[in-house]
Chain A
Amino acid sequence: MRTSAKPLVVIPAFNEAEVIEKTISELSHYSQYDFLFIDDGSTDSTLEILTKLDAPYLSLPFNLGVGVAMRTGFQFAHENGYRAVIQFDADLQHKPEFIAELLKGLAASDVVVGSRFAEDKTYRVSLLRKLAMFLLKFAVSRHTGEKLSDVTSGFRAAGPKAIALFAEDYPAEYLADTVESLILAADHNLKICEIPVTMQERQGGKPSQNVFRSSLYLGRSILVLIASFSVKKR
């Protein structure tokens, strides 16, 4: 297996035709990273745009969720000998300049989470979501023994150990991939740390949160919490 010196930035994309072009051009300034878009069975022109602009991508035959998209990315990274994987949002919510910060964190940890709360106080969420986040934080912190403030952040980096683990097994359940992957990592004795990042407004595309989804999110969070208690802490 050859090893790649460059970190791989994996960008799951599901129906992001509106913004994907902007994302590609934005990221083209960062030649120190390899990029890999994962088209998660998009039904709009996301795939055509990726092909047209000659962006590196993998295309899943049908929509399977962010979790599966990420697992695919990790599998690709593992097979191609990448030493670091960064998960990045297709709608540019995450700022590419923070990728370097996350990578720095990998020196001492296996998983680095970009936290929206750690420093930036401007990030606001609804009450329902806040409750869900609190429960999740509690569950994850209990498992990892680490104080994490933003366990649902989708902006994160994974080192070699985490890549090997996530290539094999990555939680695929709707909206829980972020949290359960942390619990999974903690259960395999991987070191998790958090680094403050700031986010920007979505540059387009549909937001994946509304009241109904928030409730669903809360429900699933409670399930995750219960599940995390039923698993013996190592």
Chain B
Amino acid sequence: MTWILGLIAVVFLVILVFINIRKGFLKEKYAVLWLTVSILSIFAIAIPQFIPFLATNLGFTLPANFLFVVTVGTALFLTFLLSTDISKKQKQLEKLASEIAILKNQINKKS
């Protein structure tokens, strides 16, 4: 019956994603990403033989090990994606700060 736990988690994730899209807190880009994660999870839940099958064929002794590799890998990938995103935002922020400083100076000169 543990599959019910998994299903609840996935449903929870999907609802979370949709609520945040509606509120405008989540960009489509990330929504797609999280929905992909939930779809893959549903696959794993719906076909219980799926993960053990993949694990054995990829040479893992235990399916759990395979799951660890996949989840940690995904988490690392997502954090890296966020790091590059934040760096981009930082650069944009710096540019904005410069623009504001220069504009303020122009306004002060006119008044």
Contacts and interface: CB of A to CB of B under 8 A. Distances in A.
Interface of A: 38, 57-62, 64, 68, 71-72, 75-76, 79, 172
B98 interface: yes
B28 interface: no
A72 B104 CA distance: 13
B102 interface: yes
A64 B105 CA distance: 18
Nearest to B104: A59
Interface of B: 91, 93-94, 97-98, 100-102, 104-105
Contacts of B98: 60, 68, 71-72, 75
- Which applies to chain B's interface (DSSP): helix, strand, loop or mixed? helix
A76 B101 CA distance: 9
- Which applies to chain A's interface (DSSP): helix, strand, loop or mixed? mixed
A172 B94 contact: yes
A58 B94 contact: no
A71 B93 CA distance: 13
B101 A59 contact: yes
13 contacts: A58-B101, A58-B102, A58-B105, A59-B101, A60-B98, A60-B101, A61-B97, A61-B100, A64-B93, A71-B94, A76-B102, A79-B102, A172-B91
A62 B102 contact: no
Contacts of A58: 101-102, 104-105
B97 A60 contact: yes
A79 B94 CA distance: 17
Contacts of A61: 97, 100-101
Nearest to B99: A75
A166 B90 CA distance: 18
A143 B102 CA distance: 33
A75 B102 contact: yes
B97 A62 contact: yes
A34 to B, nearest CB: 13
Nearest to B97: A60
Contact of A64 (B97, B102, B104): B97
Given A59-B104, A68-B98, A75-B98, 10 more contacts: A60-B98, A60-B100, A60-B101, A64-B94, A68-B94, A75-B102, A76-B105, A79-B102, A172-B91, A172-B94
